[in-house]
Every structure is written in structure tokens, then in C-alpha cells.
Structure 1
Amino acid sequence: MITPVRLPERHLSRSVKPGPSREPPRPPPPAPKPSWGRWLLPVATLALLLVVLMRVPSPQEGASFSYSDFVGKVGGGLVKTVDINDKGAIKGTLKDGTKFTSRIPTALDNSRLEQQLQSKNVEITASQSRDGSPWGTLLALVLPLLLIVALFVWSGRRAARTLGGGLSAIGRARAKIIETERPTTRFEDVAGYEGVKQEISEIVDFLRNPGRYAIAGAKGPRGVIMVGPPGTGKTLIARAVAGEAEVPFLSVTGSAFVEMFVGVGASRVRDLFAEARKRAPSIVFIDEIDAVGSRRGGGARLGGNDEREQTLNQLLAEMDGFDQDSGIVVLAATNRPETLDPALLRPGRFDRHVTVPLPNQAERAAILAVHARGKTLAPDVDWDTVARATPGFSGADLANLVNEAAINAVRAGGAVIDAKDLGDARDRLLLGRRESTNALLPAERHSVAVHESGHALMAALCEHADPVAKVTILPSGPALGATEQLPEAERHLYSESYLTDLLTVRLGGRAAELVVFGEGSTGAADDLAGATQIAARMVREFGLSPALGPVGYGSGAPRFLGGESTEETLHRPYSEQTQRIVDEEAARLVRQAEKRAVDLLREHRKALDTLAELLTVRETVDGSVVLDVLRRRQRPDGHHPAAAGKPPPSP
């Protein structure tokens, strides 16, 4: 079995054609709520404050004497009048007109005080204390409770408006329901992917004509999962299926099932499938299903009470629970299929696994044409050429490319997109923003020109390398220069000769520095890292090392998000001795590529110096200039002394 290997890593693709809007009639606006409702809480708060103020005793008038001081004042004949209530509180007036208050201890015998007051001719009056009416006391006790209840009711209504149904809405599925008349996307709106559309079109036929399958005794697919890198148009294809079948389309993301409340995810799954049964036949689309369908029981976690696992269990039960004749099809999309639970992928739940691959060159041209609709293009724009220059671009990348080209056209003062605008946009996406203020020193400028000349000459001299499209020493992003190669055709397999030439081209910049300056520089750091990675894969995965032999330690599972998983890094499927052999063989391949590049550049030293001078003056040259420099340095008999064994190709 031949497995295609993509070097370097590619991005992914989709395209959209806008369709006519078929918005359903909007419901009438809700009746305005009475304005008095907003005043309930402020009025209740004010009433509580009034009751509290009524219950607070009024501040005492005059000086406050202790009982001993009061008795002393009476004995000294200084007290004129006193008023004593039934609680022992005293209010009185001194003979100089000063008012005072005091209190009689109820535990003492007050008969002597009465005799003393009478002997001093003090006017004595009696009064009764007032604690307020019982209704005021009851109101003071009940009103705070009523205010707290009103606050809870008000908060609950605010939460109901926020959550769209209050606490009862937490367990409902937040699915975006698109009814029959809404889907306008069709299969012809999806550029490319003919194989994918043909495979998934059977779902449309099953939803439209279920009787045909019943006559033959066949059952339609219960679920279809689309696997592919991000941006390949999985969601767009799902919408196209709903548009072709003309059935309700219930769309929800996997993360919408998981909440902080235990059991909410399972409740939302049940509610989602209940809505689908009401609208059958219908399509349920779960985007990014890996957020809820990850493997269960992994890691150090014990038990199965995790909220995510409960949600997955409910999803598995629902997919087994509905009848296939009900006309419900579940579509799912993910770019991390290796993380999904095997029970979710088995037949009977997801019967079809559809891979949405990267678009090829023809599909990229069609996607570019779709995204360019409504834009003014110059006659020199050739989408086939742009598609050749954008291997691995996704549909989102291609849309961004066209948009960046339009921005460049506007920035230049025009409204027509030409080929230069597309080329500049591609450079910006791949290399970063052009740094016009990043001025290089003369020595650095010459060093960058020599470095890029080495890359360009190696690409022209190596037989299996991709042709050079452009060489520049203008800084862009972190790169001080760039050599762009344009593949002649879409590659799916890479031979050992191609990989060897690829290593040689990667080491061409460092080799040029060694030939001209006698030493390397930090400018080759990215080249060395990329070459080391390619050489390691040649040894470890592709079996292209005689020391290790035809043994491959590939991952076996696609990782569309890129990078090496932590599990594979910590638990490699080979020993430390095998790793040492891999390191030694990778270093040998890189050293051989560098030696080959150095030898070739020494043979073509004059061409290297000439191309470096041209780059220093012009800053940017195209691939034809590189070939012209090499032709001028050929022998008079026309023989080209290239180590690759083949003269440079004609432009």
C-alpha cells in the first residue's frame, strides 16, 4: 500500500458562494412591559428604610447623668423637676434650666429617693414608655423578608431574560435550527471535492427517497463523520447536504454541551435529539465533536462520573435509540479523529467516515475563482498560476489571499487586482509584513544576497528540485530574504532523489556563506532546523537509511493540528540506541547535503558572485534571471558542469 506523504505540511481548504437570502418573516415585537415594574424594587427599599428610621429612638435631650450623680444633684437641691416612666427612665430639669436624663436601677429600693425628692421640693411626674404600635413592629419584621423575596424574584427574571428561559433553559440544547426554506447552499457552491460530494450525496438521496432503500432492504447511514484539517469546508459541506435535502438543519458545536453544572450536557443532548424528532426528517450537525467525544477513562482519572463522559454516554445512547426509519441523520466534523472514543466511531453510530482532504491544484484554482467573485481583476491574473504558487493553502487562506490582494490594490491607489497584488499578498501570508523600515547594514545586505543566491543556484542546479520563481532580499517578518520555488505539478509522492535535492537546496544558503566568507552565520538557523527535520523523517519514517534499514516509526494517525503529540514524545516506540542511530544518520544526510552544495557552488563561483551582485542592486529578481546567470557561465561547447548531471532547464 502506498501512502502519500505531504512535505512540507499543507494547510486546508473550502469555498463558499453566497446565495439569495430567504429570511423567514420576523415575529411581531413583544408587547411593552408596564413601566411600574421597574419601580417595585426602589419603592420597597425606601419603605424598609422608613420603617427602620421609625424604629430608631430619637436622640436624648440634655446631659446624661449616672444614678449617683443624679442623687448628688437632688441632695444638693439643684433639681427642679423630674419625670419618671415605668421603665425607670428619668427626664428632668435643673434649677438653672439645664435638661438632663438618667435611669433608676430597678433592683434598688427607691423609697428613700422619693423621700429625698419630696424633701427638696422637686416636682415629680410619672409617664408611660412608648414602644410603638404592634403594626409597626410587625412591619419592621416582615418587610425585610419581603424585600429579600422580591430581590430573588427580580434576579430570577433577569436570569430568565439572559438565559432565554431561566434555570430551566440551562439544560436545553443551544442548537441553531435552520428550517426547510433557510438552507441555500448547494453542492455546486462547494468548489472541488467531487469525491467527497459524491460519497456524501447518498445521505441526500436517503432523506429524499427513503422508500428506495426500504424496497432493497438497505438502511441509510445513521451518522456520518467528516474528518479533515481545519478549514477544509466540513461545515460548508454539511450545510450543502441540508440545502440539497431541503430538510431542517440543527447545528450545534461540541463545546455547547459542556457546562459547569453536572448533568447539563446530557440534558442538552436529549433536548437536541428531541427537537430533531419533532422535525424529522432532519439533519443534526455537531461541529468539533472532539470537544465532547474524547476517549473515556484516559489518564489518571478514576471512575466515570466526569461531566464530559456523561455527555458522551448520553450521545451514544441517543444515537442508538432513534429508529433509522425516522429520517434523522447525524453529521459530525472534527480535525482530531485520533482523540475520539472508539464507541463513537463504530458502525451503527457513525457508519461513514468521510475524509475531507486538502484541495489539489485544480480545486485551489476553482476556490480562488469563487472568492474573487464581485472583484475587478486585471487581465494578467491567472488562477492556475496562483494555484501552483499556493500549495497547502486552505479555503480560508485563499479567501484571505484574495482579500489581501484587494487591500494592496486599494493601498496602491487603484481598484483592480493584478498579479503583483496577488504575489505580494502571498508573500505577506507566508513570510509576514514587508519591513520597509528594517534597513540592513551594507555588510548584512551583501551577506543576505549571497545566502539567497546560494539557495537559488541550488534550486536551478539540482535536477529534482522545484524551479525558482523569485529571489528577494527585502525583509519580511522574521525573514531577511526569501527564495520562492514554484512546483511544476502537484506532488503526492516524494522520491529519495527529490528529498536529497530538497536538503541540498535547504543547505545552499549556508554553503554559499562558507564558499564566499569562509564561515557560516545565524541566518541559516531556520534552514538547518528544517533540513534536520526532513533528514530525521527520512531515517525514522521513510526507511531511507541503510544503517537503520527499512523500518518506519511513523505515528500512523493523522494530526491535522500539526506538531508531535506529547504521548509520542514521552513514549517513543523505539529504544535510545535506535534514537542514537536516527540522530547520527540525520546528521550524516545533512552533512552530505552541505558538502554537495559547497562543491556545486565552488564550481559555479562566478555565477554565485554575479547573482549576489544583481540581488544587491535590484533587491528582487525572478527565476529567469537565475537561469540567465547560469547560461552565461556555461562553456563555449554548451556543456554545463553541474554535479546534478543535467543542464539547467529552459524557462
Structure 2
Amino acid sequence: MSRTAKPGPPPDPVRKPDPPKPPAWRAWLLPAAGLLALSLLFLPSILMNTPATKSLSYTDFLSKVDSGQVKTVQIGDKGAVDGTFADGSAFTSQLPTALGDTQLAQRLQARNVVITGTISSSGTNWTTIVLVVGGFLLFAGLLAWSGRSAQRSLAGGLGGFGRAKAKIIEAERPTTRFADVAGYEGVKQEVSEIVDFLRDPARYAAAGAKGPRGVIMVGPPGTGKTLLARAVAGEAEVPFLSVTGSAFVEMFVGVGASRVRDLFTGARDRAPSIIFIDEIDAVGSRRGVSGVGGHDEREQTLNQLLSEMDGFDQDSGVVVLAATNRPETLDAALLRPGRFDRQVVVPLPNQAERAAILAVHAGNKRLAPDVDLDRLARGTPGFSGADLANLVNEGAINAVRGNRVILTPDDLTAARDRVLLGRRETSNALLPEERHSVAVHESGHALVAALCEHADPVAKVTILPAGMALGATEQLPEAERHLYSEAYLTDQLTVRLGGRAAELVVFGQGSTGAANDLAGATDLAVKMVTEFGLSPELGPIGYPRGEGEFLPGGKEPARTYSEQTQHLIDEEVARLLRDAEERAVRLLGEHRPALDTLAGQLMHRETVDGGAVLDALGHEYETDHHGPSPAVLGNRAPSH
């Protein structure tokens, strides 16, 4: 039986009015009442304090009387003496009543001292009692009022301690748009569908599609996840509530869950709306890994977040957008469909995206006509958007340091060296033999890179110290690589050991200058053996270090192979490194004149480009054969 009528699309959710804001004076009511209560409690003791007077011993008191300096005395029933001197100053003393001195009255009368007596009152000081009791009652009433106010507002404590610390951004306020985010077209399409769904939910309902409940963006730090969220806030015509994951967690159990409830309540009151949780791993980590029970504050907060994202209310009109660079630490219940329906990876930008990002950050700066952002993008593989912004800013700082307002290619090159190597140490003077050793070392790297067929071309060689490096050889890839062949990796090992090989060829011994090269070569060789399956002894076996880890220095997983396999891995790694070093020594030995020529140029000029490396090889061939070498001159020259 066919149906003759189809249900229409559901009506658009009605925007609820914002709750009225409390009056401004209410924020000052709590501290004012506290100060009044404290003043009532401590005012009686302050008022009862009398000014300090001079205290005399009984012997001094008698001597003052005999000398005629005492004018009046007032004696209490317990022997307390309050009196005044002839000059009007006051004093106090104490009579030793146990001695029963009967001659004191006669001595006072003989000196014409006015004597009076007092009787201590045993009555009640009603003023003091009223002030103390009134202050106590006011303070108790203040605590009771604050507790009831906290319960009404789900605050969980004094002054809204448990309220969500979300920044509410209305539709007309943000200025960031998707056009301001360079590259990442696929990512922008994923998150823009959220905006489109909230603007026109009927279009999705007509096709029977449900809008995403949540989208989580994962990727390395600095790739622009928060920037994309700001662009969503700018593009969406709905309220945007932004909060960080650390704003939920407190030392008191239940406060974080209260803040989650308050956040989602505010979002539902403004529905349709978007909630953005930055660094969600601070609150969404796996439960139970810390060894603490279910009453742990972090777990209570996560449980409340899970309930709010996928509870019984399925038509709340709230979409959650989150960002993290540690997706492997998140709880599995948080990542399942129904809570975060989409997981969008925001990777490091490729070469074209890096050029577009550089153009965005250089838009408000004056560039020289010969600045090539495409070439700069080629020389910055692995840079994130934040790294590229810092690079352009360092270039501007370098231009200001030279009293210029126009950025030149040298400014951007110096900025790149500053980011990669550190600050240039112009005051770090090397000894002559050290300077020669560094020149030979860097010449070895450059010549081996020029002689290896699959290695990247050399862009610059320098022996100027920068950061922890005494010299540097920079290679500029011709294109963005995504796959690396075994020949390319083998050439990379040879290039890394070219500096040490040059020292062995020229000096007959190595030095400590190759420590960083050895560490990098060893790490690459270990990956070739254990991860890439490039060892004929082990065969096609891979032991990955871990998946989905964007942060360096993460915890190494437990070893999944035996001691015998470890011994075999060590032997294969050592074989790869020995073969690479022997190959580098052989190449440099065959081109010793070019090595001496390039080292001499570095000693004289300190910095040379890739063309000087090819010129040294070409000059060597012309000297030996009196003609150009097709093999050498046909090698890839670095583009300028």
C-alpha cells in the first residue's frame, strides 16, 4: 500500500530569548555584606581598647608620690591604680594588696594627692552583646543565602564557582571568514556543512539526512584548528560558545560536571548554536587509566559531557565542534558516531598551501620584487601555519634591524635559518683549525649530496655558527615528496655521513662535530629496518612505534619482538651505516680536488650557494680532463 502524503520538513527551531542579566549591584552585594559582618564582629574589641599609658611599678609609684609629682589617683577594689601626674600625663600601677600597706593613704594625703575609689560593675554590656550577636547572625545568613543562590544557578559554590566559563560570540561580532584561511579546502568543506545545516535544516530534512552532532578536528599543533573554528563562528549566523577543555576541570568533584551542564543549558537557550571546545583532551581523556575510581573529577566531567552530547534530547539544535592534537588519548565513547560523527584531520600544509599561507601573512608587509614565496615554500617542508607566520614575522624583524621597511629574500632566508638553526652567533669565533674542520665537514655534506643521484639539490652551505650548529648545509627539494624510495633513503644516509667521511679523508680521523649527523642517520636507519621493511635479513616485517601521535617525544610502546630479533636489528642498522660511510669516503676520495676547492671557498667566503658546489666539481673535471663533464654538469642544479 502506497502512501499518498509525505510528511513535510520539520519547522525551524525557534530561538529562545536570552535570559535577563542580573543587575550590576548584585555582584557587589556579597563582598559588602561580608565586610559589614566582619566589622560588627570585631568592632566591640576595637572600641574597648584604651590608649596605652605609662605603667609604673609600686616602688616607682611611691617615689613619685614622695617627690610630689602625683596629682590624682583612682584606686580600684583589686588594687588597680590609675592616676595623673602634675604635668597632666597619665599612668597606671598595681598595689601589692597582700602586703597590706596602711601607710599609703597618709603619704598621699601629706602630698595633697586627690584620692578617689571605683567599684567594678558586674552588669552586662548590652551594646557589646548586640554587636557581636548581630554580626554573627548576619554572617550566618550570608552563608545560607549564597548556598541557595548557588543551588538555583547550578553554581556549586560561592559566587558562581561552578558556572561555565564560556565566551559567547554572537553572529555579528566575528570578522574571520573561510576566505581568511589559506588552503585546507577539504577541511573547510567538512566544517562548512555544519554552518549550512544550522542555517537551513529543512534542506537536509527533505533528503532524510540528519545534521552532524559533533565534529572533532585533529592534527599537529599550529595547523590552524582554532583558526578554522573562528572562521566557523564568522560564517555562521548563530551564536558561537567557545571554551577550553581545561576550564571544566577543578580540584572539587562535581564542579566540572556542573560547568558542562551550564554550558549546554546556555547553548540550548540560544539554539540553534555551536559549542567549540578547544584542547578537548584536557577533559576527554580515557577513563580509568589513572587508577582512580569513578568519583574522580575528570571522569565525572567526561561522563556529563557524554550525557549532554548524546542524551535523550535528540533535537536540541546544538552542534559541538572540538579540536585536539592528541586524539589517541581520547575516550572511545567520546569519538563514536552520535557524539562526534566526523573526525577531520588537519595535517601539515603541503607546498601549495604553504605558499598560500605565506601570502596571507605577507599581505600586510612590503616585499621586494624579487621575493619568491613559492621558493620559500619549497624550502619549508614540515612547517605548520604557525611556523610560517613566525618565519614571516622574523623576516620583518630582520628588516627593521637593518633600518628597512621592505623585506628582501635575504631577510626571509635569514629568518628561515633563525627558525631552523637558531640565532646567528657572530661573536662565537672559532679557532683556525676548528674553522678549517667545519669547512671540510660541510664541504663533505655538499659534495656527497651533489654526487648522489637521488639526493635533494644543495641550496646553501655556510660555516657561520648558529644556535648549536657550527655550520650547515641546506638542501632544497625540487618537489613535495609523499613517498620515499629505498634509493632516496640510502642517499640520505650517505649525505648525513658525508661530513664525517670528509674528515676521515682529509684529517684521517673523525671529530665530535658529527654527533648530530650520526644520531639522525641512526634514527633513519632504524626506521628503514624496523618500520619500512628495507632490510633483506629481516624481510617484510614492520614494528611501528605508534599510530596517531602528533606530538614528538611521546611514550614508546612496549617492544613486540624477541632479544634475538633486537640483535639482528642492531646488526642491520650498523651495516647500513657502515655501507653509507664507506660509500661517502669513496666518493670524496675520488673527488678530493673538488673537496679542497670547496673547503677553501668556504674558508674565504663563509657562505656559498649550490652553484659553487657544482662549479667545484666542474673545475675539478676541467683540471683533470681539459673539458666539461657531461655527467657532472648534467646533475640537477638548485633553482634560484
* Selected match of 2:294 from 291, 299, 304: 304
2:458 is aligned with 1:468: yes
Q: 2:515 maps to which residue? A: 525
Alignment partner of 2:328: what SS?
helix
Quick one: distance in 2 between partners of 1:152 and 1:361?
67
Q: CA deviation at 1:198?
A: 1.6
1:520–1:88: structure 2 CA closer, same or farther, 3 Å change rule?
Answer: closer
Q: CA deviation at 1:321?
A: 2.2
Q: 2:47 maps to which residue? A: 50
* Selected match of 2:97 from 88, 93, 103: 103
Q: CA deviation at 1:103?
A: 3.5
Q: 1:260 maps to which residue? A: 251
Q: 2:272 maps to which residue? A: 281
Q: Which amino acid aligns with 1:392?
A: G
2:585 is aligned with 1:595: no
2:611 is aligned with 1:624: yes
Quick one: distance in 1 between partners of 2:409 and 2:295?
58
Q: 2:193 maps to which residue? A: 202
- Written as runs of structure 1 = structure 2, the 5 A alignment for 1:499-648 is 499-566=489-556, 568=557, 571-634=558-621, 635-636=625-626, 638-639=628-629, 647-648=634-635
Q: 2:160 maps to which residue? A: 169
Contact 1:157 1:166 in 2 (8 A): no
Q: 1:319 maps to which residue? A: 309
Contact 1:473 1:619 in 2 (8 A): yes
* Selected match of 1:245 from 236, 239, 249: 236
Q: Which amino acid aligns with 1:48?
A: S
- Written as runs of structure 1 = structure 2, the 5 A alignment for 1:24-173 is 48-53=45-50, 62=58, 101-103=95-97, 130-132=119-121, 134-135=123-124, 137-140=125-128, 143=131, 167-173=158-164
Quick one: distance in 2 between partners of 1:333 and 1:577?
43
Q: 2:281 maps to which residue? A: 290
- Written as runs of structure 1 = structure 2, the 5 A alignment for 1:114-513 is 130-132=119-121, 134-135=123-124, 137-140=125-128, 143=131, 167-299=158-290, 301-321=291-311, 323-513=313-503
Q: Which amino acid aligns with 1:401?
A: L
Q: Which amino acid aligns with 2:97?
A: R
Alignment partner of 1:349: what SS?
coil
Quick one: distance in 1 between partners of 2:126 and 2:226?
64
Which digits, 9 at most, give the CA deviation of each residue in 1:57-104, with x for residues without a partner?
Answer: 997884599xxxxxxxxxxxxxxxxx998779999xxxxxxx983437
Quick one: distance in 2 between partners of 1:152 and 1:476?
66
Quick one: distance in 2 between partners of 1:184 and 1:335?
25
Contact 1:87 1:129 in 2 (8 A): no
- Name the TM-score, length of structure 2 as normaliser: 0.82
- Name the TM-score, length of structure 1 as normaliser: 0.80
Contact 2:44 2:128 in 1 (8 A): no
Quick one: distance in 1 between partners of 2:271 and 2:335?
23
- Cα RMSD over matched residues? 3.9
Alignment partner of 1:134: what SS?
coil
Which digits, 9 at most, give the CA deviation of each residue in 1:476-504, with x for residues without a partner?
Answer: 01100000000000011111111000000
1:149–1:400: structure 2 CA closer, same or farther, 3 Å change rule?
Answer: farther
Q: Which amino acid aligns with 1:594?
A: E
Which digits, 9 at most, give the CA deviation of each residue in 1:617-641, with x for residues without a partner?
Answer: 0000000110111112224465567
1:143–1:61: structure 2 CA closer, same or farther, 3 Å change rule?
Answer: farther
Q: CA deviation at 1:577?
A: 2.1
Quick one: distance in 2 between partners of 1:64 and 1:144?
40
Which digits, 9 at most, give the CA deviation of each residue in 1:286-307, with x for residues without a partner?
Answer: 00000010011114x1421111
Show structure 2 runs of 5+ residues with no match.
1-20, 62-73, 83-92, 106-114, 150-154
Number of equivalenced pairs: 576
Alignment partner of 1:303: what SS?
coil
Contact 2:277 2:322 in 1 (8 A): yes
Contact 1:183 1:246 in 2 (8 A): no
Q: CA deviation at 1:325?
A: 3.2
Show structure 1 runs of 5+ residues with no match.
1-26, 66-82, 92-98, 118-125
Contact 1:63 1:101 in 2 (8 A): no
Q: CA deviation at 1:564?
A: 3.8
1:541–1:145: structure 2 CA closer, same or farther, 3 Å change rule?
Answer: farther
Contact 2:156 2:255 in 1 (8 A): no
Contact 2:40 2:131 in 1 (8 A): no
Q: CA deviation at 1:238?
A: 1.3
Contact 2:40 2:135 in 1 (8 A): no
1:433–1:146: structure 2 CA closer, same or farther, 3 Å change rule?
Answer: farther
Q: CA deviation at 1:199?
A: 2.0
Quick one: distance in 1 between partners of 2:553 and 2:429?
34
Alignment partner of 1:321: what SS?
coil
Contact 1:90 1:104 in 2 (8 A): no
Alignment partner of 1:53: what SS?
coil
Quick one: distance in 1 between partners of 2:264 and 2:94?
81
